[in-house]
Amino acid sequence: MSRHPEVLWAQRSDKVYLTISLPDAKDISVKCEGEGVFSFSALGVQGESFDFSLQLYGHIVPEGCKTNVGLRNIICSIQKQEKGWWKRLLKSEEKPAPYIKVDWNKWCDEDDEESISDLLSDDDNAEYEEHDEGSDDEGMLYLPDLEKARGN
């Protein structure tokens, strides 16, 4: 019997992002089919089987699907066949399974896409990294820097 990992999703007008939370996954298999079928399977750290298949809202470009495997999760970038905003992730109008959730960290509204697209690199060859947001002094000037700025 297989289990379902948590799946977070977000979209842009040209792509859908799926983040599959499965630390230290092995034997990862991702399949994208043009009709909008996305399939995933992997083995967990203790050998348990995880898999699911999604019928996405619209058609996708199988060659435009990129997968990046990290230590804690698998990030899939799926290219839409037609540029535009989907009403929902899945074709079915039923409530999605409880393991599928919105990725609020990557989410943006249609109106915000232009300003956010500058922040997100569209280069799919770039490494996806997890950032620790624990640093409070990012962007802070230290006293010697302030004195230089004043010309002292």
Query: Which residue segments constitute the domains of the chain, with CATH numbers given?
Result: 7-94 (2.60.40.790)
Checking if the pLDDT of 121 tops 50, the result is no
Range of 107-116, 124-133, 137-146 with top mean pLDDT:
107-116
Checking if the pLDDT of 14 tops 50, the result is yes
Q: What is the pLDDT of residues 22-39, one digit of tens each?
A: 999 999 999 999 999 999
What is the rounded average pLDDT of the residues 126-144?
Answer: 45
- pLDDT band at 152, cuts 50/70/90? low
Checking if the pLDDT of 128 tops 50, the result is no
What is the rounded average pLDDT of the residues 113-131?
Answer: 49
Lookup: tokens for 18: 């799926």
Give helix then strand counts, H and E, for the chain. Answer: 2, 8
Q: What is the pLDDT of residues 42-98, one digit of tens each?
A: 999 999 999 999 999 999 999 999 999 999 999 999 999 999 999 999 999 999 999
Rounded to 5°, the CA angle 64-70-74 comes to 50
Q: In 17-142, which ranges are continuous DSSP H helix?
A: 113-119
Task: Say what the alpha-carbon torsion angle 89, 12, 37, 99 is, to the nearest 10 degrees.
Answer: -40
* This prediction's pTM: 0.73
8 A C-beta contact, residue 72 and residue 94: no
Length in residues, the chain = 152
Nearest to 12 by CA among 98, 115, 101: 115
Lookup: tokens for 61: 């470009």
Structure confidence at residue 88 (pLDDT): 96
